[in-house]
A and B are shown apart, each in its own frame.
Chain A
Amino acid sequence: MKLPAAFRSSKGLIGAVLVLMILLVAIIAPLVIPPDMATQMDMRARLSPPTLAHPLGTDQLGRDLMYRVLLGAHTSIYIATAAVLMSIVIGLPLGLISGYVGKTTDNILMRLVDTLLAFPALLLALTISAVLGPNLQNTIIAIGIAFTPFLARIIRGEALRVAQMPYVEAARTAGNSDTRLIVRHILPNIMPAVIVQSTISLAFAILAEAGLSFLGLGTQPPDASWGLMIQASRDYLDRAPWTALVPGAAVALTVLGLNMFGDALRDALDPRARKGAT
């Protein structure tokens, strides 16, 4: 693996630092900050601009935005990570089988994937969330399912490419079983593409969670999530713009970090994909 190469470019380094910082916040914040700091209300300090007592200001119920944005990191990162993991768990075998087995299986699976791809991801996630009812788990499922067809398509392409490589042919003639071929020879070779795609998907998942919560079909109050915070800020925009700016900046920094890191990763791991679409 040429992973360290990703850190060599300044873009990769900045991205990595950003992502690491936010990951640390997401993990540590819930451990050191009591959860009620994000829900504690102060009716005398509603929509307060940043002050010493509230460094990032407060929201419409007088809740401290700093604590909310810090604790919100956990919710947003957790949902995005779990959703992407889910799309990998479903998409990886689908793509592998489709690409490796080919023929009718490939045809059927890819027809299905193409059909799902015709539904905009957000629309798909929204509908799934409406069917399942909005809560944390269902948000993960909705985003996970909505992202699966993309991943399956990319993995299928990769699997197809790798399966035709001379050394795989050689391994096959040497009498290796299909399972062994897939696990030992194909899987390791498509991992770079999977990692790159996952990083990019993670960025999209953060945005998708924010979008879903913004429409009321994602994370539920009083839990703090960035999308929910932006949604709540909507009615107070012109008198208290910080209520939108604080969570907006958090989303931007995270997605920016992920994108930068993802770009660098792609350059380092998968030079072929540089020309490809995200």
Chain B
Amino acid sequence: MKRRDFLKTTSALMGGTILYGLGSNSAAAQGEPVSGGTLIWGHSETTQNLDMHQTGTASTGRVLENVHDSIVTVDENLTVIPHLAESFEISEDGLTYTFTLRDDVMFHNGAKMTSADVKYSFERCMNPDTGAVNFEVFNNVASIETPDDLTVIITLDQVNAPFLSRLAENGAGVIMPVDSGDVQGNTPIGCGPFKFVRREFGNEVELEGFADYWGGAPYLDKVIAREITEPTVRLTGLRTGELHMINDIPADRIGEIEDDPDLQVVAWFPLNWDFVNFNHEFEPFKDPKVREAFDYMIDKQVLLEGALWGQGEVTASPSYPTSASYNHDLEQRPQDIEKAKALLQEAGYGPGELSVTFKATTNYPYHIESAQIMLEWFRLAGVEANIEQLTWSDWLSQVWVDKDFEISMMNFFTLWEPDFLYYSLWNTEGAFNYRKISNPTVDELTAKARVTVDPEERAGIYKEVQKVIHDETLDVILWFRNGTIGAQPSVGGLDTIVHPNGSNLNFHKVWLSS
């Protein structure tokens, strides 16, 4: 219980920061960094297609974070800062972006990075035939010019406020060496702190420290990412010392690891966020009263406790907790079964007259648990409900593509860039609008924010969007989930490992004491 209370007091104000860990247990690791050693990491997921442009899965991005660097990046406050570009300039009219590249960036193949590589990478991402996940980032790009080896000028044909921020992650902002596209899929080459050595598919990925890294050679000689998807198995590996560290400690076991003097735990907030989805073209859900009724059926705190053993923090807003656009005025609806029944009655559904199927994916076992818990509440409110458990690929094709569902649940890793978040998910035209939501106010606001350059004004618009999402119960926003790492005391520098986006892990400054 003490953990929960702690979380409550820190609340949503503590976004992007280490929650706990690095306490007494990790005292041994607080010495001076040393070089050398091979770190064995028990990775929670299997990596897939290793082409940074094509892959959209968090698991693969988490590993590739160490192989690649993006042209710009963000600091812990999510402000865009220089990275491979040592400086950047945006013209008054917001249409021209000028990047000045660092002079000391080497690729793993021995080549020096120049503006040609940047042009190649961006154009590869833009090309529809590449099948790049983030190609729409470049939708407004009119031209990419390279007046000299270290200068890149990008001209847009209309203002695109989120453009620079979107380049701050590897998905769109990654720089690959010229003509390396064909090999990226299974032997990625970049200019990050670690070289990709090999992947034994399903077993492990081997990364080797890159001595010529522009940010200084990493401490570790090697990182071996063992892919161990079974949570208890990962934990056992950590306990027996087979693994130096693991990510994603099983939620119900965190307390136990914290109490273990031989292990250290790092937890941060948030890793990702979850929400319950309604299909807005399913007849009953066209009525906002019905959606609101379902919101009233769900006790978010109990659900969080039940599905994630309390490892997270409930929220009414999906905005990154520390970001300017987070709307603190919103409050989740409390559970009120009677009110839910009344709302359903008003909408014309008496007890037992509404029946829904909840499609949840086994890819996130806690979604299955959540669905089972919610089902009980739905039934209490007189709704007939059953679950369809879908494999990840079935969920993607049925819910995401075919939009063939009634009620579902999904998580997203923190889309800290608000346009990426709100336009993609809630605009009628949004790429991630799989719920067929079409709300004129949201459409108007998200379009307006795109061309609003003033940060404060932009944040204000997004706060309004959140209010509409909440008032109209377009979805039910549930919580931000904690990320966790468990490690041996010998692992140092864990405070630097989590990328500000909460999802990626970077081993550049991590070290092993002997």
Contact = CB atoms under 8 A, between A and B. Distances in A.
A/B contact in complex, CB under 8 angstroms: yes
Nearest to B230: A234
A235 B365 contact: yes
Given A41-B376, A221-B372, A235-B250, A61 B389 contact: no
Contact of A216 (B252, B369, B389): B389
B388 interface: yes
A93 interface: no
A36 B379 contact: yes
B425 interface: no
A223 to B, nearest CB: 9
Contacts of A221: 368, 371-372, 387, 389
A236 interface: yes
Nearest to B231: A235
A237 interface: yes
A217 B389 CA distance: 8
Nearest to A219: B389
A145 B452 CA distance: 60
A216 B391 contact: yes
A9 interface: no
Contact of B388 (A40, A220, A235): A220
Contacts of A239: 252-253
A135 B388 contact: yes
A38 to B, nearest CB: 11
B381 to A, nearest CB: 14
Contact of B387 (A47, A222, A237): A222
A137 interface: no
Contacts, number: 55
B117 interface: no
B69 to A, nearest CB: 36
B373 A41 contact: yes
Contact of B369 (A39, A60, A237): A60
Interface in B358-376: 362, 365, 368-369, 371-373, 375-376
A130 B390 CA distance: 10
Residue of B305, B376, B390 with most chain A CB atoms under a 10 A cut-off = B376
Contacts of B230: 234
B158 interface: no
B232 interface: yes
Interface string A130-141: 100111000000
B232 A238 contact: yes
Contacts of B250: 235
B302 interface: yes
Interface in A90-108: none
Given A221-B368, A222-B372, A234 B232 contact: yes
Contacts of B281: none
A216 B392 CA distance: 11
A216 B368 CA distance: 11
Contact of A134 (B232, B252, B386, B389): B389
Nearest to A237: B232
A43 B372 CA distance: 13
Contacts of A222: 372, 375, 387
A36 B394 CA distance: 28
Given A135-B388, A216-B389, A221-B368, A39 B376 contact: yes
Interface size class of A (residues with CB under 8 A): 20 to 34
A75 B372 CA distance: 18
A236 B253 CA distance: 9
Nearest to B372: A222
A61 B372 contact: yes
A60 B387 contact: no
A236 B250 CA distance: 10
B362 A216 contact: yes
Contacts of B56: none
A43 B368 contact: no
Given A43-B302, A43-B305, A61-B373, A220 B232 contact: no
A238 B389 CA distance: 26
Given A221-B387, A235-B250, A43 B306 contact: yes
Nearest to B393: A130
Interface in B201-254: 230-232, 250, 252-253
A216 B391 CA distance: 8
Contacts of B232: 234-238
A6 B375 CA distance: 46
A41 B387 contact: no
A43 B376 CA distance: 13
Contacts of A220: 386-389
Nearest to A133: B394
A130 B393 CA distance: 10
Interface string A193-217: 0000000000000000000000011
Nearest to A220: B389
B45 to A, nearest CB: 16
A205 to B, nearest CB: 21
A149 B307 CA distance: 42
Interface of A: 36, 39-41, 43, 47, 60-61, 130, 133-135, 216-217, 220-222, 234-239
30 contacts: A36-B376, A36-B379, A39-B372, A39-B375, A39-B376, A40-B376, A41-B306, A41-B373, A60-B369, A61-B306, A61-B369, A61-B372, A130-B391, A133-B388, A133-B394, A216-B391, A220-B386, A220-B388, A221-B372, A222-B372, A222-B387, A234-B230, A235-B231, A235-B250, A235-B252, A235-B365, A236-B232, A237-B232, A238-B232, A239-B253
Q: Which 10 A-B pairs have the closest CB atoms?
A: A222-B372, A216-B362, A220-B389, A221-B372, A235-B232, A221-B387, A235-B231, A220-B387, A43-B306, A221-B368
Interface of B: 230-232, 250, 252-253, 302, 305-306, 362, 365, 368-369, 371-373, 375-376, 379, 386-391, 394
Given A61-B369, A222-B372, A234-B232, 10 more contacts: A41-B372, A133-B394, A135-B388, A220-B387, A220-B388, A221-B371, A222-B375, A235-B250, A236-B252, A239-B252
